[in-house]
Amino acid sequence: MPRLVMKFGGTSVADLDRIRNVARHVKREVDAGYDVAVVVSAMAGVTNQLVAWCRDAAPLHDAREYDAVVATGEQVTAGLLALVLQGIGINARSWQGWQLPIHTDNAHASARIAEVNGAELIKRFDELKQVAVIAGFQGIHADTGRITTLGRGGSDTSAVAIAAAIGAERCDIYTDVDGVYTTDPRVVPKAHRLDKIAFEEMLELASLGAKVMQVRSVELGMLHNVRIFVRSSFVKPEDIDPRQTPPGTLICDESEIMEQQTVTGIAFSKDEAQISIRRVQDKPGVAAAIFGPLADANINVDMIVQNVSADGATTDLTFTVPSADYERARVTIEKAKSAIGYELIDGSTNLAKVSVIGIGMRSHAGVAASAFKALAEQRINILAITTSEIKFSVLINAPQTDQAVRTLHTLYGLDQA
């Protein structure tokens, strides 16, 4: 029988009524002939409460004990859903991450999956026709035997990893939206849902501000070629015909997409900050002196722009960091002033990054140039630019973000579904 992984996020399992709704979704797929593994998040708000308790108990808490506490949210959901499924006649059993097991590294609170053993799940599918209800977001470090957690959004990663381990036909991610849109519909009312999007494009969207999918889950899907289907959990289960394709977005290999648009979507992030280091000594090793301390402080640097040195002696270097890290980044650079050898540092926080993504850019020239012209006509000043094979990003003043996104969405014909 074909296998299917279904993942439900916190809003989808927020209370018992919604858990009962999830159970009906699961029953529909079981009745359609699938062997089903269900991955669940903690009920909405539960993880935040658990994290708050940890911080209140000990501001500088032990990460191992933090994981032991926050992993319980998903365990509660898995047990409740298994009970509800049993109540409607479905043979179901709950699993915690360590019981499969899902093996991870030892980076508590942000562990990465090393291996998932799906043998026992497959055995129970074949012998007992049993639905597996699995607590997402968690695993076990084999050497220490300690519970680990995967970081926020980790249930998506759990689901895709399990789908790869059991050879699932696809991994359905149920959420509070009905798919991936060309951009945020709250900013652009004409934004429309994509039927399909390539792994690479979704990876760029997720890393550049789109909140629908967690980056690591998309990476895993691309690595193992696990087809991921993003769909809404709030459509009534009885209104869905499992023999038909429901509303949603399929994240897949680009070979499955017959007609590829030049631009697929527009992403944006309003939490950008810029730091400029003026009159830096233009000599080998300066970049390492700047970005080494930032890396050691776990500050993620994004856009980097260096002006051409006119006199061969000094230059200006500008880079962006998340606005939450702005002050910490400035302090880090100021502490390294003697090693860097600059004269002045300045910056600002009220900035935004707008990114245009599309695999079609590989074979179309002038995509970025047309954007620069359109933004100029709207009097939107571009402060920095970065490009890659399938996307480019511009740094602008934050108050102009919505205007820039709407301008680009129209420019590339994304207003038409």
Asked if residue 69 has pLDDT above 70, the reply is yes
Residue 416, in any domain of the structure: no
Asked if residue 258 has pLDDT above 80, the reply is no
Asked if residue 325 has pLDDT above 80, the reply is yes
| pLDDT the model gives residue 127 | 95
**At 313, is the pLDDT very low, low, confident or very high (cuts 50, 70, 90)?**
confident
- The answer on 285 and 167 residing in a single domain is no
**What is the C-alpha end-to-end distance of the chain, expressed in Å?**
36
> What gap in Å lies between CA 304 and CA 318, rounded to an integer?
6
Asked if residue 329 has pLDDT above 90, the reply is yes
- The answer on 197 and 78 residing in a single domain is yes
Highest mean predicted confidence (pLDDT) among 204-208, 225-229, 307-311, 338-342:
225-229
Q: Is 312 left (phi over 0), alpha (psi -120 to 50) or beta?
A: left
| pLDDT the model gives residue 209 | 67
Is 70:51 a contact under the CB 8 Å cutoff? yes
Asked if residue 348 has pLDDT above 80, the reply is yes
| pLDDT the model gives residue 363 | 76
- The answer on 271 and 307 residing in a single domain is yes
Residue 172, in any domain of the structure: yes
- The answer on 324 and 245 residing in a single domain is no
- The answer on 356 and 249 residing in a single domain is no
The CATH number of the domain where 55 resides is what? 3.40.1160.10
| pLDDT the model gives residue 341 | 87
**236-265: average pLDDT:** 84
Determine the structural domain holding residue 88 and report its residue range. 3-254
- The answer on 280 and 394 residing in a single domain is yes
Residues in the chain: 417
DSSP 2-36: -EEEEEE-GGGGSSHHHHHHHHHHHHHHHHTT-EE
Is 129:34 a contact under the CB 8 Å cutoff? no
Is 402:187 a contact under the CB 8 Å cutoff? yes
| pLDDT the model gives residue 154 | 92
> What gap in Å lies between CA 136 and CA 130, rounded to an integer?
18
Q: Are strands 391-397 and 344-357 parallel, antiparallel or unpaired?
A: antiparallel
**At 343, is the pLDDT very low, low, confident or very high (cuts 50, 70, 90)?**
confident
Choose between 261 and 70: higher pLDDT.
70
- The answer on 244 and 108 residing in a single domain is yes
| % of the chain surpassing 70 pLDDT | 98
> What gap in Å lies between CA 197 and CA 218, rounded to an integer?
11
Q: What are phi and psi of 11, to 5 degrees?
A: -70, -25
Give the model confidence (pLDDT) of 269-289 as tens digits: 988 999 999 988 888 888 899
- The answer on 99 and 57 residing in a single domain is yes
- The answer on 247 and 143 residing in a single domain is yes
- Chosen domain end from 254, 283, 305: 254
Give the model confidence (pLDDT) of 155-195 as tens digits: 999 999 999 999 999 999 999 888 999 999 999 999 999 99
**At 214, is the pLDDT very low, low, confident or very high (cuts 50, 70, 90)?**
confident
**118-139: average pLDDT:** 96
pTM: 0.88
- Chosen domain end from 229, 254, 279: 254
Q: What are phi and psi of 190, to 5 degrees?
A: -85, 0
Rounded (to 5) percent helix, strand, coil in the chain: 40, 25, 35
Taking the CA atoms of residue 233, residue 234, residue 237 and residue 240 in that order, the dihedral angle to the nearest 10 degrees is: -90
Question: How is residue 244 annotated by DSSP?
Answer: S
- The answer on 368 and 224 residing in a single domain is no
Asked if residue 311 has pLDDT above 80, the reply is no
Nearest to 201 by CA among 352, 322, 360, 354: 360
202 alpha carbon, distance to own chain's centre: 9
Give the model confidence (pLDDT) of 350-390 as tens digits: 999 999 999 988 877 789 999 999 999 999 999 989 888 89
- Measured at the CA of 349, the angle between CA 409 and CA 52, to 5 degrees, comes to 95
State how many domains the chain has.
Answer: 2
Give the model confidence (pLDDT) of 80-92 as tens digits: 999 999 999 999 9
Q: Is 341 left (phi over 0), alpha (psi -120 to 50) or beta?
A: left
> What gap in Å lies between CA 156 and CA 234, rounded to an integer?
18
Average pLDDT for the chain = 92
| pLDDT the model gives residue 320 | 93
Residue pointed to by tokens 């050497």: 143
| pLDDT the model gives residue 267 | 93
- The answer on 284 and 237 residing in a single domain is no
- Measured at the CA of 23, the angle between CA 18 and CA 26, to 5 degrees, comes to 130
> What gap in Å lies between CA 312 and CA 26, rounded to an integer?
66
Asked if residue 309 has pLDDT above 70, the reply is no
- The answer on 295 and 376 residing in a single domain is yes
Q: Mean pLDDT check: name the lowest of 1-15, 25-39, 298-312.
A: 298-312
| pLDDT the model gives residue 310 | 66
